[in-house]
Amino acid sequence: MSTSPAIIIAPDSYKGTATATLAAQYLGEGVLEVIPDASITLAPMADGGEGTSAVFDGEVITLPTTNAAGRLTEASYTFDEATETAYIDIAAASGLPAVADNPVPTTGDTYGTGVLIADAVTRGATRIVLGLGGSATTDAGSGILVALGAVPRNKAGYGIASGGEALIDLDYIDTALLNIPAAAVEWILLTDVDAPATGPTGAAAVFGPQKGATPKQVTLLDASLAHTCTQLDIDGTLPGMGAAGGIAIGITWLSTLMHGTSGHVHIIPGAALIARSNGIEEALPNADLLITGEGRLDSQSFTGKVVGTLQALAQKNSVPLAVAAGIVADDVPAELHTYEMLKSSDVAAQLRDAGRRIAEDFLANRF
């Protein structure tokens, strides 16, 4: 180890308490209290869930829109004018927290996210990066389509109701009023899961209960998604098609309509892409320590999430990895260097303390 160790600090957000950027800052401050000459690189992470858009550079745009229940709200996204790219979290407008007290598993829609997309296109966006985690909906992206002027209709030609359950009546999508510039953008869909659209590991079966769906509603939603894939000629078995309630179904149909192929839709694991874009992959070969963290560390943290992605990169480069978490579950691999944070309402103090403990163990060669 060099006299001035190179340390990369790359946490996920701690939902409801600290953004990834703030978490990295606080962890770094704790490390520097113990190793004042450390060379610290802050690289906030995300995996496609809440907080993904915030890790990218650009102007933060905030505007009125609707939540998953159709009620008025405000939501923000990041727009990088230089690259004509908008970074939008599904969770910003269509997320679960806003409707947690009154879930809308069968009727919730992504219309509010579509409003953000349409706004970004008016500002010059030609590429839309959607973080797909944390949605309250299972509507196959039909709400987004409606916001962009594509209206799902039944056999009688009437527009169908919003939400996933009504998709069982889908016959075709009316594009007479389609927002052509928005429909023609390049789509980057960042997933934190690789679930297919339907079946026992699909959007409804796995994530429906988290969004408030009863077993009967899960069955109805699964049937609706399967019907939608059939009507729109979409392969719902592809990994990631089930993320965020099947949003990739509607997006893939829309883009294929515009371009003749699905080549302008890219379904990518979010954490891996962000680790490349923020320089972690490039910096790791020269690092002495990698620090990450999230609110709850458990077996799910290793299925396309930030911690699992960084663990693989750290192992590849023979760099020790330390994880600071609010809760460390029993099913975490024993060989992982984990640090459960102090119980406190002061998240800055919690993270600084975790940073200090990690640095002390690192200096004591306990890794």
Q: Residue 303 is part of a domain; what is its CATH number? A: 3.40.50.10350
Q: Are residues 253 and 118 in the same domain?
A: yes
CA distances from 63 to 7, 93, 301 (A): 38, 10, 32
Domain assignment present for 279: no
DSSP string, 257-293: HHHSSSTTEEEEEHHHHHHHHTTHHHHGGG-SEEEEE
Domain assignment present for 59: yes
Domain assignment present for 277: no
Q: Are residues 253 and 299 in the same domain?
A: no
Q: Are residues 119 and 89 in the same domain?
A: yes
Tell me, what's the pLDDT at 256? 98
Give percent of the chain with pLDDT exceeding 90. Answer: 89
Domain assignment present for 300: yes
- The band of 139, judged by pLDDT with boundaries at 50, 70 and 90, is very high
What is the C-alpha separation between 320 and 137, in angstroms, rounded? 38
pLDDT tens digits along 30-60: 999 999 999 999 999 998 888 899 989 999 9
Domains contained in the chain, number: 2
| Mean pLDDT along residues 348-354 | 97
Strand order across the 127-131 sheet: 59-66, 72-80, 85-89, 127-131, 186-191, 265-269
Q: Is this model's pTM higher than 0.85 or not?
A: yes
Tell me, what's the pLDDT at 347? 95
With contact defined as beta carbons under 8 Å apart, do 116 and 63 qualify?
yes
